[in-house]
């Protein structure tokens, strides 16, 4: 019988402890809502909980309760929200969670922390299997640290069973010398831990109801308390401040990058590439240095991204090229080229073989197949037809001070440099626009749009009005035939 089958034989609940304030983060945001590779810490933990396919997931909240609950409800709608009361401590947090679970539930309870994002479901499955194989009432996850300073030490008996977890400030010299530490993750039989919690008080220096006290209570009652030692201690790293957040971010990003490399993505400089967990990359994508791929970005095969590019919630088609570009909520189709120094705002869509060139901003606009906006332009609230070329320095004047208006440009239109489209306006298929045109009225198909004004030259103006300047000297020499 396989591991997953064994797990499905008995009921399982997961309790996520997320009530803490996290004062060491020195932030107005709840600790568990700080992001790691594009997902709040508690999102990583909830994903791990869901992967176990438990009957119940309960999340204990208190600090910034509404903000945390809002995210949890959106990320994991089936999760049960549980409010911790005025009694502090992890023991009390588990107690209120157990009280909130259905009374008919008699299975095992996994307890994990909302600020330990790298603990994975495979590790937890192994711990649950050991817990059940040994018929333990409680099983701790532990690890061994070269420097265990600050952690609770795990004290075992001669048979390897756990006697207690002793906090460092309460440890004897011999206990303080132990290097096996408590990771703060557990598996309990519900009935056993409920009974033990009832006898745990708050008579300690912190005035808290400690979950670790349950371990000693169960052991003293003669129950078997097991511990599973995890060799990779980084899996169990909790985040208490932003330095630790940065450390874990670096480790997770390195894992994500390496995973994509093994999946066939070329990443030229892994150290300068940052990829969120929600990103999807096809084989044969090439990522150049200085690239950030965020949110739900999707990139198809043979596309090249970078250098120095940030894509957020953006899709990039097969064989496209995106160079030194910032894009948010944009679509870039197969064979298109974007950049350098382009800005694609939400709603920007570049069609197949389209081009968005240097210093071009596109917002809420569609460029159809082969359409080009090569240089120094702003295109907002517009639709540009197939094969159309927009000359340098174009502007869609889409805002009248109150409302935004649409510009519609047909297929195979050619416009000259420094054209201003004063929306709402429509340019017909095959039309041309002269350089410097200010187009205020719709242009019929095949027409040439011009803003005609007579050029006037005022002879001698520079010499008369800018005497003594290099320009005046040059003009004087030219007008008198001197070199």
Q: Is the pLDDT of residue 80 over 50?
A: yes
> Measured between alpha carbons, how far is residue 477 from residues 243, 320, 473 in Å?
68, 53, 6
Q: Is the pLDDT of residue 7 over 60?
A: no
Classify domain 263-449 by CATH architecture.
Answer: 3 Solenoid (2.160)
Angle, helices 212-220/90-100, rounded to nearest 10 degrees: 80
The pLDDT tens digits of the residues spanning 359-401 come to: 999 999 999 999 999 999 999 999 999 999 999 999 999 999 9
263-449 has the same fold as 3-236: no
Domains in the chain: boundaries: 3-236, 263-449
Q: What is the pLDDT of residue 9?
A: 35
- For the full predicted model, state whether its pTM sits above 0.85: yes
Among residues 435, 364, 361, 356, the alpha carbon closest in space to that of 388 is found at 356
Catalogue the active-site residues: 375
Mean pLDDT of 191-209: 85
Alpha carbon 464 to chain centroid, angstroms = 63
Res 260 pLDDT > 80: yes
Question: Per-residue pLDDT for 276 more than 80?
Answer: yes
Rounded to whole angstroms, how far apart are CA atoms 414 and 37?
44
Cβ of 467: how many Cβ atoms within 10 Å? 10
- Tens digit of each residue's pLDDT (9 = 90 or more) over 398-450: 999 999 999 999 999 999 999 999 999 999 999 999 999 999 999 999 999 99
CA dist., res. 325 & res. 250, Å (int): 24
Burial of residue 361 (CB within 10 Å: 0-12, 13-18, 19+) is: buried
Q: How confident is the model at residue 210 (pLDDT cuts 50, 70, 90)?
A: confident
Task: Please report, rounded to a whole number, the percentage of residues in the chain having pLDDT higher than 90.
Answer: 90
pLDDT, tens digit, for every residue of 123-181?
999 999 999 999 999 999 999 999 999 899 999 999 999 999 998 888 999 999 999 99
So what's the pLDDT on residue 399?
Answer: 94
Does 205 score more than 70 pLDDT? no
11-70 pLDDT tens trace: 899 999 999 888 999 999 999 999 999 999 999 999 999 999 999 999 999 999 999 999
Architecture of 3-236 per CATH?
Answer: Alpha-Beta Complex (3.90)
């Amino acid at each position: 019988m396989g591991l997953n089958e064994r797990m499905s034989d008995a009921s399982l609940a997961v309790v996520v402890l997320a009530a803490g304030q996290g004062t060491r983060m020195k932030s107005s945001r709840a600790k568990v809502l700080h992001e790691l590779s594009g997902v709040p810490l508690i999102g990583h933990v909830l994903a791990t909980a869901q992967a176990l396919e438990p009957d119940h997931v309960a999340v204990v909240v208190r600090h910034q309760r509404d903000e945390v609950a809002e995210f949890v409800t959106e990320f994991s709608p089936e999760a049960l929200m549980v409010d911790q009361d005025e009694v502090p401590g992890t023991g009390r947090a588990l107690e209120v969670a157990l009280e909130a679970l259905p009374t008919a539930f008699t299975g095992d309870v996994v307890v994990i922390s909302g600020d330990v994002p790298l603990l994975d479901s495979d590790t937890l499955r192994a711990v649950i299997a050991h817990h059940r194989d040994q018929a333990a009432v409680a099983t701790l996850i532990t690890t061994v640290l070269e420097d265990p300073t600050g952690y609770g030490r795990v004290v075992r008996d001669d048979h390897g069973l756990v006697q207690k977890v002793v906090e460092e400030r309460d440890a004897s010299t011999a206990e303080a010398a132990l290097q096996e530490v408590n990771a703060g993750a557990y598996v309990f039989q519900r009935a056993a831990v409920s009974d033990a919690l009832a006898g745990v008080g708050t008579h300690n220096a912190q005035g808290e109801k400690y979950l670790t006290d349950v371990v000693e209570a169960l052991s003293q009652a003669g129950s078997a308390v097991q511990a599973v030692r995890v060799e990779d201690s980084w899996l169990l790293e909790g985040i208490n401040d932003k330095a630790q957040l940065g450390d874990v971010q670096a480790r997770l990003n390195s894992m994500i990058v390496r995973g994509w490399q093994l999946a066939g993505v070329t990443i030229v400089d892994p150290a300068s590439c940052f990829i969120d967990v929600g990103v999807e990359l096809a084989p044969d994508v090439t990522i150049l240095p200085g690239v950030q791929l965020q949110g739900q970005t999707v990139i198809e095969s043979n596309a090249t991204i970078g250098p120095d590019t940030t894509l957020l919630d953006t899709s990039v088609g097969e064989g496209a090229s995106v160079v030194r570009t910032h894009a948010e909520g944009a679509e870039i189709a197969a064979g298109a080229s974007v950049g350098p120094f382009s800005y694609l705002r939400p709603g920007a869509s570049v069609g197949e073989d389209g081009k968005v060139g240097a210093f071009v901003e596109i917002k809420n606009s569609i460029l159809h197949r082969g359409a080009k906006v090569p240089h120094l332009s702003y295109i907002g609230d517009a639709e540009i037809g197939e094969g159309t070329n927009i000359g340098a320095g174009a502007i869609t004047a889409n805002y009248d001070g109150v409302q935004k208006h649409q510009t519609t440009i047909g297929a195979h239109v050619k416009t000259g440099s420094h054209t201003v489209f004063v929306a709402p306006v429509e340019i017909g298929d095959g039309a041309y626009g002269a350089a410097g045109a200010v187009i205020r009225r719709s242009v019929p198909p095949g027409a040439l749009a011009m803003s005609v004004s007579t050029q006037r030259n005022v002879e001698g103006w520079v010499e008369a009005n800018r005497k003594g300047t290099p320009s005046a000297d040059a003009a004087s020499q030219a007008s008198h035939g001197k070199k």
